[in-house]
């Protein structure tokens, strides 16, 4: 049984070094749920599942929030895929492009990605496809000629759903709303924001989108950006977060004393967002089962070419503290 490092635990859980150290060494008070997450992570890393000879063959590159990263890695290991998951959350664009080049040297191994749709990344994927590499885009799409298939939700519809939830909650009175954006190079973020803006404009003209905070899926950056947005727009009544960084968002609301009078809609249910729902810091989130997403991506990666549609849109649900789904863990 191998030794698991503190850095590995931090990467898998998204928790700080200080929190991990307190649990490992029995120092200080740590919430039982956090202790369970750390111990479960250690056990999973110490005993990876055996890989059968019939395991599907593929690699994956992920640039998503900490909660979804942990879900996807656990699901990947449970399915015993013969291939590696590369977490590129903190990688610069040049490093991502370089990794694409390395992973695409063997064109026989499909590549599943969740990446920004920047020009350099799209070019690297496009060139790999021209050499016969199969590319499956998961959660966030890239240019159509840079991948073979896309699997995910209808992100514009998700943004419109967020607009509907917020508009109905605010009622008929004139109100201000804000949006937390990650990065426009993520197609899912861009489409969700567009859907939210058009949904408010079409259905709730009295709700003015007054503030925008750029959080880059980072709790720290999101905290600072939302803090500024609340200072600039003290009458803000609702916030829609199109991406990650929800811990930073809710911390900013807590520091401003606004947890009870700002409606917050986010995305995904996982070890980050589920406690925030339970604690009434998030009102609701839009999410789909990550296992269904990954299973479909693996199936597309290994299916005969031309046997599946270009894009597959999956259903998403609205979750509150009253109906947190089983896949949250």
302 and 245, same domain (yes or no) = no
169 and 143, same domain (yes or no) = no
214 and 238, same domain (yes or no) = yes
Rounded mean pLDDT of 34-57?
73
pTM of the model: 0.81
125 and 217, same domain (yes or no) = no
211 and 255, same domain (yes or no) = yes
- Given this model, what pLDDT does residue 2 score? 67
Judge whether 165 lies within some domain.
Answer: yes
Whole-number average pLDDT of the chain: 91
Q: How far apart are CA 181 and CA 269, in angstroms?
A: 18
What percentage of residues in the chain have a pLDDT greater than 70? 96
In this predicted structure, the answer to whether residue 11 has a pLDDT above a threshold of 80 is no
147 and 296, same domain (yes or no) = yes
Q: Which helix (H) or strand (E) holds 17?
A: helix 17-25
Q: Which domain holds residue 319?
A: 59-153+289-328
314 to 5, 84, 137, 188, 292: CA distances (angstroms)? 37, 25, 14, 14, 9
Pick from 27-36, 62-71, 164-173: least confident? 27-36
In tens, the pLDDT along 211-237 reads: 899 988 889 999 999 999 999 999 999
Pick from 33-42, 80-89, 101-110, 114-123: least confident? 33-42
In this predicted structure, the answer to whether residue 305 has a pLDDT above a threshold of 90 is no
In tens, the pLDDT along 109-140 reads: 999 999 999 999 999 999 999 999 999 999 99
Question: φ, ψ for residue 163 (rounded to 5)?
Answer: -60, -40
Contact criterion met (CB below 8 Å) for 277 and 324? yes
Distance between start and end Cα atoms, the chain: 24
183 and 140, same domain (yes or no) = no
């Amino acid at each position: 049984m191998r030794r698991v490092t503190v850095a590995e635990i931090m990467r898998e859980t998204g928790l700080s070094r200080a929190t991990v150290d307190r649990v490992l060494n029995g120092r200080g008070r740590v919430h039982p749920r956090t202790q369970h997450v750390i111990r479960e992570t250690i056990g999973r890393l110490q005993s990876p599942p055996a890989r059968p000879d019939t395991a599907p063959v593929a690699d994956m590159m992920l640039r998503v929030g900490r909660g979804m990263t942990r879900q996807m890695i656990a699901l990947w290991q449970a399915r015993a895929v013969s291939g590696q998951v590369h977490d590129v959350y903190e990688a610069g664009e040049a490093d991502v492009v370089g990794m694409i080049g390395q992973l695409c040297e063997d064109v026989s191994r499909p590549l599943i990605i969740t990446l920004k749709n920047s020009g350099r990344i799209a070019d690297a994927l496009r060139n790999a496809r021209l050499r016969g590499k199969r590319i499956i885009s998961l959660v966030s799409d890239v240019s159509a000629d840079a991948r073979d298939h896309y699997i995910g939700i209808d992100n514009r519809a998700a943004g419109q759903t967020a607009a509907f939830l917020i508009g109905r909650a605010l009622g008929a009175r004139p109100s201000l709303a804000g949006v937390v954006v990650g990065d426009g190079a993520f197609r899912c973020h861009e489409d969700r924001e567009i859907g939210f803006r058009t949904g408010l404009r079409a259905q709730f003209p009295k709700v003015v989108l007054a503030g925008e905070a750029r959080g880059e899926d980072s709790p720290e950056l999101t905290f600072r950006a939302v803090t500024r947005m609340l200072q600039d727009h003290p009458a803000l009544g609702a916030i829609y977060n199109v991406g990650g960084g929800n811990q930073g968002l809710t911390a900013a609301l807590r520091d401003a004393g606004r947890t009870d009078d700002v409606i917050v809609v986010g995305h995904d249910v996982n070890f980050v967002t589920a406690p925030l729902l339970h604690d009434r810091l998030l009102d609701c989130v839009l999410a789909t089962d990550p296992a269904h997403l990954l299973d479909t991506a693996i199936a597309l990666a290994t299916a005969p070419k031309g046997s599946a549609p270009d894009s597959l849109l999956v259903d998403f649900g609205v979750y509150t503290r009253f109906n947190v789904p089983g896949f949250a863990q």
